[in-house]
Amino acid sequence: MLDRRVIGKNYPPALNEVERGAIRRFAESIGDPNPIYREEEAAKAAGYHSIVAPPTFPATFSGGVDFLSVLSINPRHVLIGEQSFEYHQPVCAGDRLTVTSRVVDIYEKMGTGGVMDFAVVEDEGRDEKGELVYRARKTIIVRPPTRTPEAGGDSAPQAPSA
């Protein structure tokens, strides 16, 4: 079970500098050919001050805290279940965003393999003036450890066969 005492706790923010090359590589990795993610002229013609980041790009930002460590989660048991982004301004190359993260909820659900833990994490990215640029939420799902080496998970000691 995840420690519910971390809900709402404030952690130090982290500065994230939005780099042109990182935006281009991200757009390539998701297979989006939109020129506003690669070409300065196309982005400016579309009304942006520089190349703009694809909508899910802030998933690459750091909020200054590693929640897998804070929650003592084995990364081999983690899935990202849901992710959403709410924008107040576009994210563009050259932006410097301060990102803060916090756990907003923790709960459990029964799955076919046992009890699964869920942690909902919210990030806020603010520009150098302190204005909100985006808010993102993701649900971290912690699957129960598997009991067989064949399943690729943690194995429990097996009783000797008779």
Mean pLDDT computed over 133-152: 80
Between residues 162 and 61, which one has the greater pLDDT? 61
In the 3-class helix/strand/coil scheme, how is 78-95 assigned residue by residue? EEEEEEEEEECCCCECCC
Residue 157 has pLDDT above 50, yes or no: no
Contact 118, 141 (CB under 8 A): yes
Residue for token digits 């849901």? 82
Q: Is a pLDDT exceeding 70 seen at residue 7? A: yes
What is the average pLDDT score of the chain? 89
CATH of domain 4-143: 3.10.129.10
Global confidence as pTM: 0.82
Q: What's the confidence (pLDDT) of residue 150?
A: 53
CB 86 within 8 A of CB 135: yes
Q: What is the pLDDT of residue 112?
A: 85
State mean pLDDT over 156-162. Answer: 42
75-109 pLDDT per residue, tens: 898 988 899 999 999 999 999 999 999 999 999 99
State residue 70's pLDDT score: 87
Phi and psi for 59 in degrees, rounded to 5? -60, -20
- pLDDT value at position 158? 42
Q: Which of 98, 86, 95 is nearest to 51 (CA)?
A: 95
Q: What is the pLDDT of residue 72?
A: 87
For residue 153, is pLDDT > 60?
no
